[in-house]
Amino acid sequence: MAKSLRSIEIRERVLGKNDALAESLRSRFQESGTYVVNLVSSPGTGKTALLERTLSELNGERRVAALVGDLATENDAQRLSRSGAPVRQITTGGNCHLEAEMVRSALQDWEPAGSEVLFIENVGNLVCPASYDLGENLRVVLLSVTEGEDKPLKYPPIFHSADLALITKVDLAEAVGFDRAALQANIAAVNPGLPVLELSARSGEGMEAWLELFRNR
């Protein structure tokens, strides 16, 4: 029992420190006029494909940039750099989520001047990122039509903490027998009133509604 209480105490201290730093980052972003979007999902949902298209579409209209979190490699950052927007990789070295300290460190010697929108692509995971505030304005949880309609019920904390849900790869919906009504009901059971957008980064379906969130800011 003592060991269990000790673990809880340590976790609370870690989260408390993270939250304090996240608030500092939030104030910093507000002062610089930067709107921050934290993208969270399981692996294979199409986060990077969506972010690549988003950066490509918005770059030139808005000053956009991206931080990309992964356990290893800089493959995603190299891919996203093709958009022409400033991109930096955060390699966590095994950590299953990004933390406010990692974001702060990444911005110490790299902060794109005048960025209006900063996208943070979190590590592919639906568990750990739910507990870690990164100072974002908007937390977006992605769920592809290929993953199953019960994901919100299996991972309620991340859906409960989200400000927006994106259903991705809708161009495959018919092929995989996607049950739209079931997913909508499961999202509503976890987070009633959570806004939901459907899109496909590959076909472009639904992308305009997503992009308008940032064009109008």
Task: Tell me the pLDDT tens digit for each residue of 83-109.
Answer: 999 999 999 887 889 999 999 999 988
Predicted TM-score of the model (pTM): 0.91
Bin 5: left if φ > 0, else alpha if -120 < ψ < 50, else beta.
alpha
pLDDT score for 177: 97
Domains of the chain are 2-215 (3.40.50.300)
Distance CA 13, CA 6 (A): 11
Distance CA 129, CA 85 (A): 25
pLDDT score for 6: 47
Q: Which amino acid is at 88?
A: R
Q: By three-state DSSP, how is residue 90 classified?
A: strand
The list of the chain residues with pLDDT below 70 reads 1-12, 14, 113
Q: What is the CA radius of gyration of the chain?
A: 17
pLDDT score for 81: 92
CB 177 within 8 A of CB 152: no
Distance CA 33, CA 6 (A): 40
Q: Report pLDDT digits (tens) over 136-172.
A: 999 999 999 999 999 999 999 999 999 999 999 999 9
Q: Measured between alpha carbons, how far is residue 68 from residues 1, 34, 106 in Å?
A: 39, 17, 10
Distance CA 119, CA 87 (A): 9
